[in-house]
Amino acid sequence: MNRQADDTIKRLLGPAEPELQCDECFEKIDEYVDFELQGDDADQLIPGMRPHLEGCPACHEEYDSLRELVQSAE
Amino acid sequence: MPLPSSQSFSSPSVAAESQAWVDALSSSGRERDEAVARLHELLLRGARFEVSRRRASLAHIRGEDFDDVAMQAADDALVAVLGKLDDYRGASRFTTWAYKFVLLEAGVRLRRRAWQEREVVLDSESWTQLAQSSPGADTDAERSELLHTLSECIGEGLTPHQRQVLVALAMDGVPIDVLAERLSTTRGALYKTLHDARRKLRTEMSERGFPVETTLTGGGKR
């Protein structure tokens, strides 16, 4: 119950926390992924990235792909 | 061109590998040509990876079209990477930095291909359906009231452009790159509009007695 409604509300209201914009996300996404794969606290090192990825499906897709691609190439 | 010493790599060999890429691409003659060819190969691998990842959701696209998308994405990403080489500061592994360009190129192309036969309704009224939500099997009374209020805020609190962008992206599922193309604008500009619309909605909701921090944790009107 409520799942569909919650998804709609989340998409409409977006992330509550301060977030990067798409250009800033693109600028930093490679660092963010490398931090994550090195085991560093990427969210602390690049604040605003995680909320942006939650709010922007296109950037999230590219993040997923980059992380998977780098992992597969290692 | 030596990279700054403030690199964050855990491994010196990764830093050396990145430096080698920059040195070779900044050189001239045969060394540079070979490095450019290796870079294109790397980018094509990244493009094919992305195409393969999304292929299942793009069943209506022919196989040779996927090959074209991958090659075009690799070609354009090569130009972008070479053009921005001076901006690379070694904050990430060189190959990670380069891959992000080709994943962007491939992702944008694939999203647009997926929607090229589909109509984008720019003044969709789908948001008005939120007001028709009533308590039932899928939605409790609090959520229903919240959706109703959200509909009012979308109708009364946003500019027509903010409403158009919010509804297309967050309700109708139009990919941001597709909408950017149809509206002759950029992903960044559209996301800024979406961000502003969401912030305005949160403020409006709060003013109408729905503190946004409680909207998804079971809290209703206060």
Q: What is the pLDDT along chain A (74 residues), one digit of tens a residue?
A: 578 888 889 999 999 899 999 999 999 999 999 999 999 999 999 999 999 999 999 999 999 999 999 999 87
Q: How many CB atoms lie within 10 A of CB B58?
A: 16
Residue pair A7/B139 in contact (Cβ under 8 Å)? The answer is: no
- What residue spans define the domains of chain A? 3-73
Which residues form the domain of B209?
126-214
Alpha-carbon distance of B161 to B40, in angstroms, equals: 40
pLDDT at A1: 55
Alpha-carbon distance of B50 to B204, in angstroms, equals: 40
Of the three residues B82, B115, B148, the one that is the final residue of a domain is: B115
pLDDT at B138: 66
3-state secondary structure of B129: helix
Q: Angle of helix B94-115 relative to helix A22-38, nearest 10 degrees?
A: 130
pLDDT at B124: 79
With CB atoms and an 8 Å threshold, state whether A65 touches B170: no
Of the three residues B66, B94, B115, the one that is the final residue of a domain is: B115
With CB atoms and an 8 Å threshold, state whether A65 touches B107: yes
Is B186 among the domain residues? Answer: yes
B71 and B149 both lie in a single domain: no
Residue pair B10/A38 in contact (Cβ under 8 Å)? The answer is: yes
Task: From chain B, pick out residues whose CB is under 8 angstroms from the CB of A13.
Answer: 198, 201-202, 205, 212, 215
pLDDT at B181: 94
Alpha-carbon distance of B17 to B95, in angstroms, equals: 9
Residue B168: which CATH number?
1.10.10
B130 and B55 both lie in a single domain: no
Task: From chain B, pick out residues whose CB is under 8 angstroms from the CB of A66.
Answer: 96, 99-100, 103
Point out the residues of chain B with pLDDT beneath 50. Answer: 6, 214-222
With CB atoms and an 8 Å threshold, state whether B96 touches A16: no
In tens, the pLDDT along B33-55 reads 999 999 999 999 999 999 999 88
pLDDT at B219: 41
With CB atoms and an 8 Å threshold, state whether B144 touches A5: yes
Place of tokens 């509206």: B183
